[in-house]
Amino acid sequence: MLETINRLILPQVSSTFAADVDGLFTFINVASAIILLGITVAIIYFSVKYKRKSEDDVTPVIRYNTTLELTWTIIPLILILIVFAWGFRGHIDMRTPPSNAYEVYVTANSFFWQFTYPNGVQTTDELYVPAGRPVKLIMQSRDVIHSFFVPDFRVKQDVLPGRYTTAWFQTLGTGEHVIFCTEYCGSGHSDMDGMVYAIEPEEFDAWLREQKELSEQELPLAVLGQNLYQQQGCAGCHSLDGNVVIGPSFQGLYMDERQGADGSSRVADEDYLRESINNPGEFITSGFNNIMPGYSYLSEDQVSAIIEFIKEQQ
């Protein structure tokens, strides 16, 4: 029956410690209900039994009753110690993220949540997490005090400007869970909500990669190209200052007329550069060796970005 009542009045149980929190909550409720019932019955019983029946009724003077004193001291003491030990154990659990927890940075703003993943991907008001894996949130506020609350997880933690607070959780499975800001933070407080999407770990990894690619596309092409120039190792062979390292320098390369080793010539336009990135062996400039690996695994957008970067090197 308690289960049924809990299911009616409490949010769904979706994190590893939610059930324990509910257990303590139920224990306090049931203990309080029993005490309330006992006291109410006693009051009614005594007020009937000891009602003054005649003018000569004299109230006996009772100064002390050791048994009674001990009973109503020891029983509440035991109850409170149980609540303390239970709550303390749960608190320690909630304050101690496992060392292998997946970390996400959370920035609270008036009036939205920003989530930053280890690879630099950012989302707003939507927190994606791998289901069934511990997730640690490292949180700070850009302005006033907010509070991060996911009822389904029984996780609630203040988010402060100027210092980090942390919270962690591990979902029991996949699902969608509402995030609330639960510290009044201004006129938009009630709109400051979001969603946690707990998805399969493999799905999560794929999502993260996809977001990473999207976020790269949002950079100006030439800036993205410059990043790729470093990340993909182009810098090892192609200088930007005209010096020949191993391959031709990128300086002045765009639209330059290139003499091929086979006597032909081509203008280094976009098509030429694209081909040289994907399939370098097709045209080897006179004086260079055919040693560059092909980069055909790059996306078209990445290739365009590198071309834009090369065009800037005049």
* Interface mask toward ligand CUA for 54-93; x: CB under 6 A: ----------------------------------------
Q: What is the CA radius of gyration of the chain?
A: 34
Structure tokens at 210: 């996809």
Closer of 104 and 185 to ligand CUA (Cβ): 185
Structure tokens at 6: 């809990």
Which alpha helices (DSSP H) does 128-194 contain, by range? none
β-strand partners of 169: 135
Order across the sheet with 175-181: list the strands: 126-130, 193-199, 175-181, 146-150, 155-159
Closer of 130 and 194 to ligand CUA (Cβ): 194
Contacts of 247 (CB under 8 A, 6+ apart): 237, 238, 288, 292
146 binds ligand CUA (CB under 6 A): yes
Binding range to ligand CUA, per CB under 6 A, among 185-193, 226-234, 235-243, 301-309:
185-193
184 binds ligand CUA (CB under 6 A): yes
Max Cα-Cα span within the chain: 133
Question: Least distance from C-beta 110 to ligand CUA, angstroms?
Answer: 6
Q: How many helices (H) and strands (E) does the chain have?
A: 7, 12
Please give the helix or strand (H or E) that residue 6 lies within, else none: helix 2-9
150 binds ligand CUA (CB under 6 A): no
* Interface mask toward ligand CUA for 280-309; x: CB under 6 A: ------------------------------
139 binds ligand CUA (CB under 6 A): no
- DSSP 3-state assignment of 266? strand
Q: How many residues bind ligand CUA (CB under 6 A)?
A: 8
* Interface mask toward ligand CUA for 94-133; x: CB under 6 A: -----------------x----------------------
Question: Least distance from C-beta 14 to ligand CUA, angstroms?
Answer: 22
Find tokens 């949130």 and name the residue.
Answer: 137
- DSSP 3-state assignment of 164? coil
Q: Give the binding site for ligand CUA (CB under 6 A).
A: 111, 146, 181, 183-185, 189, 192
